A and B are shown apart, each in its own frame.
Chain A
Amino acid sequence: MTKKTNIKKNKKAEEKNQERKPGKTSKSTTGKNIKNTKFNNSYIDSLEEKIISQEHIDIHDFESIGAGQSTQKGVHKTNSSVANAGRKKLSKGKGDEDKAKKRKTRSREFAIVSYIFVGLFIMMIGYFVYFNLFLAVDVINSPYNTRQTLFEDRIIRGEIQARNGEVLARTDIYDDGTETRIYPYGSIFAHVVGYASHGRKGIESLENYSLLASNTFILNRMGNAFAEKKNQGDTVVTTLDVKLQEVAYSALAGYSGAVVVIDASTGKILVNISLPDFNPNTIDAEWEAINSNTEDATLLNRVYQGQYPPGSIFKMLTLLAYMRENSNYEEYTYECTGSITVGEGEEAVTVSCFGETVHGVQNLEQSLANSCNTSFCNIGLLIDNDAFATLAKEFFFNVELPVQLSSSISQFTLNSKSSEGESIMTAIGQGNTLVSPMQMAMITASIANGGILMKPYLIDRIESADGNLVTSYTPTILNTLMTTVEAEVLSRYMTSVVEYGTAAALSGNGYTVAGKTGSAEATEGTHSWFVGFSNVDNPDIIVSIVAENAGNSSGVAVPIAKQIFDAYYR
């Protein structure tokens, strides 16, 4: 019998044997039916136990095993007490119970190994399910995935609609079977709706999967498959508002720049204008011309990817930084003498107020309302640069915006090593700071909403071509960016900007507005900015407007805002 040769009769082995803890019962065996199959042989178990304990085995053991019992009779033990310490004894009385426990003891490690591996498998299946349920749709939308074109063989690309059902994009089929993508509104929705030839951009890219999926009535689909006809893709209903978009489009006409309008309480994006633009209906013909014109960057959706110095609209954040460091901010006072200089000699930096105006004594509210540069330079010197940098990160600097369409990464470079000159320039929104219109809209939106930022979104719902709801999207909270007190204070100050400050043209039109103007100096010229929201007590819409090289903001950005607000409340 081969097993006998394994028995080494020496003390070391016996002691080692003691270290084993076979006495524990495993509670994990109940789930595994394997041991309970009729093939499990408990008789052999007891024999093995003896072998392990180096008990001497003789023929009597086999007899007793054969009889279905185990007994200590006829077994010659060596160091029996030592060997048996801590282990269950085989005795008639508790025979069955012991056998069961021994079975579990013996299989305990196997059970653990089984559970480890089964556990790994189940986790893997779980991840697989999770991937298919939640991650897949975004992953397969990547332009690297060519499989979606496979769907085009069987599905007619679905429609894209504005919030009230106006068709922004549709596919027409001609008698000879050719398909053309038609954009009824031409270039008005060019960037946001996007295009699907020459790669994919905008909503055409974002919702490519939905547009090429068909959820029409199943019998219709099967009938079509049988007749080898294509099925109609689903309809993507966006949050865009045709009326406002058209107003904003003609208001910005003549300039390059961007306009974005967001619904304050939900985060729905109502307007997305980016100029210069193109006509998606003729994009094939114009493709070469568009791409060779590198100066205009026509294909760029400036709302998300425009990078501009913010100028005075940045003062909202400077103010917030100051408030967070000084709880007595209401007592702030500064005497504006028209200009301020820091540094010495060649490194001296001088900043003046707009038009060299001398504002005199200002508190914080007046500083913002009048957009007093020198006061804000002073504030800039009072703020801790590192704290400012941390705040900037919270307000989406140096990260990609958490929105559906891809955005550029805004820039904020101030840190503890920066010079005073950079501090004051940053405080007034110049220096190295760069922002995108969407980012500024999001910051303004959180001020309007008591500190809570609703996630801006473009897609309201997906419907099948025959009108049934497939998926519906609801507003979600992205984050709380500031306290309600901070939001309220900023909101109040920004109301003053409109009441008696630089955006006074927006007051007295039948609705209240809070906002901030900006003239941002860039190398090419001065950009005209306005960010703000209407109906201050219960904000309706947020606007973020930038007109490139348009000079003083009161000239261009503010009137655009007025047209949009007027149209909204008409």
Chain B
Amino acid sequence: MINIIVELSKYLMIILTILYTLQCFTVFRHDSKKDLSFGFVRQNVLMFLNHFVAYVVLILQSGNKELVIFYGAQFIFLMATIILFGFIYPKASRLVTNNMCMLLSIGFIMLTRLSYTKALKQFKIVVISMIIALFVPVIIRKMKFLEKLGYVYAIVGLGLLLIVAGFANIQGGALLSLTILGISFQFSEFVKIIFVFGIACFLKNATTFLDIVKVTILAAAHVLTLVLSTDLGGGLIYFVAFLIMLYVSTRQPLYLLGGLLAGSGASVIAYHVFSHIKIRVASWIDPLAVYQNGGLQLSQSLFAIGTGSWFGLGLYQGAPNEIPVAEEDFIFSAIAEEMGGIYGICVILICMSVFIMFINIAMQIKNRFYKLVALGLGTIYGFQVFLTIGGAIKFIPSTGVTLPLISYGGSSIVSTLIMFSIIQGLYILREDEEENLEKQK
């Protein structure tokens, strides 16, 4: 009997998520404001239904009665987030809020299935982060001086990274995080935002080639520090973000091409220098052949995705925990295994929709500084999604980064939610710009 429910739930959740995903893209039609807001409400309904069906299955399969309360808490939280953002920030992008909640809900579902304790922990961090995030848009809106703090960003950002690098070297091995008061912080997640702000500030003011060189040196310092603390995925993301920001602000395709060439060259050098890159690449080429030597995780990931096929095995019907640390880099594989490949594609498309919304505000806002900030944050988000999912499906070698809002990881949650809120702040700022113009008339 439970089997039937689980089987049906698979298809139901896929249909709901497909409808949700379609809605993400139809908002670009020229609908009336009323139709648009109705569409957004429809999205919320779809999300809550998906969330509900999933939890019914989770509760039935696991028999864990505490999940009922957990579900209730999540429901209240998601509802509150949507209402609060809608109420306090009516000018913010409703689609961004919806996508944020949708991705969070999918993350909760999968993490609960993988590990109830971790899911609880994640939920607590999400709630706290969201409270913090609620203040960010107003900060963006009011604190106009943020775009002048270039040197502050540079020093703080680079400084934090150097601290991590310093401790990593002392203790040896790839230390990406520091533990303070029992909570582990992955600084590179927070510094991402500081970095983008800093680069945006300097690029905005850059007019001479020398200025460009100075900014490049700053960016390079960040990237190298990350490389030295063996956070290669992070370094790559910072590098690409800088490159894109440089290209768009200077409008010189040569910078982009030059940067890509330099990056490729550096990758080749890194391949020869770092042994664990060699393992990752060998694993990418044929994970089964090097199963005992680093290919295990990727092999299990492919088994999970392949066995799940298009419609998935159903929650609790697969074996996602066979993938080591499935809650982090490979959570996409777990989703594809149990909820289905189609579901996985929808997740990719939802992330793409988020990216498009980030770039959208970057294009529309007139403030040059925030243009670059939005572009940088969008690039960071989009590229990170690409790296983590691409690595899990063996499209590219895996780089050890996680899926924002879905993967387990406190620092990532905090920084991603702050990122989203900054973007929301920019949407509000854009509306302000329009209003100012209207007033000029």
A residues lining the B interface (CB < 8 Å)? 2-3, 6, 8, 12-13, 16, 20, 22, 33-41, 43-44, 48, 62, 65-66, 107-110, 113-114, 117-118, 120-121, 123-125, 127-129, 131-132, 135-137, 139-140, 142, 144-148, 150, 154, 222, 225-226, 228
Q: Using Cβ atoms and an 8 Å threshold, which residues of chain A touch B204?
A: 6
> A34-B363, A136-B307, A139-B288 provided; 18 other pairs, C-beta below 8 A?
A22-B251, A44-B366, A48-B366, A66-B441, A107-B363, A114-B356, A117-B382, A117-B386, A125-B348, A128-B341, A131-B305, A132-B306, A132-B309, A132-B310, A142-B299, A146-B322, A150-B317, A222-B4
Q: Using Cβ atoms and an 8 Å threshold, which residues of chain B touch A16?
A: 207-208
**Is B363 a contact partner of A225 (Cβ separation < 8 A)?**
no
Give complex CA distance A228, B2 in Å: 9
**Is B288 a contact partner of A144 (Cβ separation < 8 A)?**
yes
Contact segment of B52-60, B119-127, B217-225, B389-397: B389-397
Known contacts A37-B30, A44-B366, A128-B393: does B208 contact A150 (CB below 8 Å)?
no
**Is B208 a contact partner of A34 (Cβ separation < 8 A)?**
no
Q: Using Cβ atoms and an 8 Å threshold, which residues of chain B touch A140?
A: 302-303, 306-307
Q: Using Cβ atoms and an 8 Å threshold, which residues of chain A touch B78?
A: none
Contact segment of B68-76, B181-189, B268-276, B432-440: B432-440
Name which of A136, A137, A226, A228 has the most chain B CB atoms within 10 A of its CB: A136
**Is A139 a contact partner of B434 (Cβ separation < 8 A)?**
no
Cβ-based interface call for B421 (8 A): no
Q: Using Cβ atoms and an 8 Å threshold, which residues of chain A touch B1?
A: 226, 228
Per a CB cutoff under 8 Å, which of A22, A36, A43, A132 touches B437? A43
**Is B440 a contact partner of A62 (Cβ separation < 8 A)?**
yes
Q: Using Cβ atoms and an 8 Å threshold, which residues of chain B touch A40?
A: 364
Closest to A221 in B: B7
Q: Using Cβ atoms and an 8 Å threshold, which residues of chain A touch B147?
A: 2
**Is B344 a contact partner of A20 (Cβ separation < 8 A)?**
no
Cβ-based interface call for B264 (8 A): no
Cβ-based interface call for B362 (8 A): yes
**Is A147 a contact partner of B303 (Cβ separation < 8 A)?**
yes
Cβ-based interface call for B49 (8 A): no
Known contacts A113-B375, A124-B389: does B304 contact A38 (CB below 8 Å)?
no
Cβ-based interface call for B315 (8 A): no
**Is B395 a contact partner of A139 (Cβ separation < 8 A)?**
no
- 27 A-B pairs whose Cβ atoms sit less than 8 Å apart in the complex: A2-B147, A34-B359, A35-B363, A38-B30, A41-B434, A48-B366, A65-B440, A66-B440, A110-B359, A110-B362, A113-B379, A118-B352, A120-B386, A121-B355, A123-B395, A124-B390, A128-B348, A131-B305, A139-B302, A139-B306, A140-B302, A140-B306, A144-B300, A145-B307, A147-B318, A150-B313, A150-B318
Per a CB cutoff under 8 Å, which of A3, A113, A139 touches B303? A139
Closest to A63 in B: B440
Give complex CA distance A393, B433 in Å: 71
Closest to B337 in A: A147
Q: Which of B317-332 contact A (CB under 8 A)?
A: 317-319, 322
Cβ-based interface call for B247 (8 A): yes
Closest to B209 in A: A16
| CB proximity of A536 to chain B, nearest CB, Å | 42
Q: Using Cβ atoms and an 8 Å threshold, which residues of chain B touch A107?
A: 363
Cβ-based interface call for B248 (8 A): yes
Known contacts A113-B248, A136-B305: does B356 contact A146 (CB below 8 Å)?
no
**Inter-chain CB contacts under 8 Å: number:** 164
Give complex CA distance A12, B360 in Å: 32
B contacts with A, residue count (CB < 8 A): 67
**Is A114 a contact partner of B288 (Cβ separation < 8 A)?**
no
Known contacts A125-B345, A127-B393, A222-B4: does B30 contact A145 (CB below 8 Å)?
no
Nearest first, the 4 A-B pairs at minimum CB distance are A136-B306, A140-B306, A145-B303, A33-B28
| CB proximity of A69 to chain B, nearest CB, Å | 13
**Is B322 a contact partner of A147 (Cβ separation < 8 A)?**
yes
| CB proximity of A66 to chain B, nearest CB, Å | 5
Give complex CA distance A12, B382 in Å: 36
Q: Using Cβ atoms and an 8 Å threshold, which residues of chain A touch B299?
A: 142, 144
Known contacts A38-B30, A144-B291: does B363 contact A131 (CB below 8 Å)?
no
Give complex CA distance A37, B29 in Å: 8
Closest to A39 in B: B364
Cβ-based interface call for B94 (8 A): no
| CB proximity of A400 to chain B, nearest CB, Å | 12
Contact with A along B222-256 (1 / 0, CB 8 A): 00000000000000000000001001100100000
Q: Using Cβ atoms and an 8 Å threshold, which residues of chain A touch B251?
A: 20, 22, 108-109
Known contacts A124-B390, A132-B305: does B355 contact A117 (CB below 8 Å)?
yes
Give complex CA distance A222, B3 in Å: 10
**Is B363 a contact partner of A110 (Cβ separation < 8 A)?**
yes
Known contacts A144-B299, A147-B307, A225-B7: does B247 contact A109 (CB below 8 Å)?
yes
Give complex CA distance A125, B351 in Å: 12
Q: Using Cβ atoms and an 8 Å threshold, which residues of chain A touch B118?
A: none
Q: Using Cβ atoms and an 8 Å threshold, which residues of chain B touch A35?
A: 363
Give complex CA distance A40, B302 in Å: 44
Give complex CA distance A113, B382 in Å: 11
| CB proximity of B51 to chain A, nearest CB, Å | 24
Give complex CA distance A20, B386 in Å: 31
**Is B345 a contact partner of A39 (Cβ separation < 8 A)?**
no
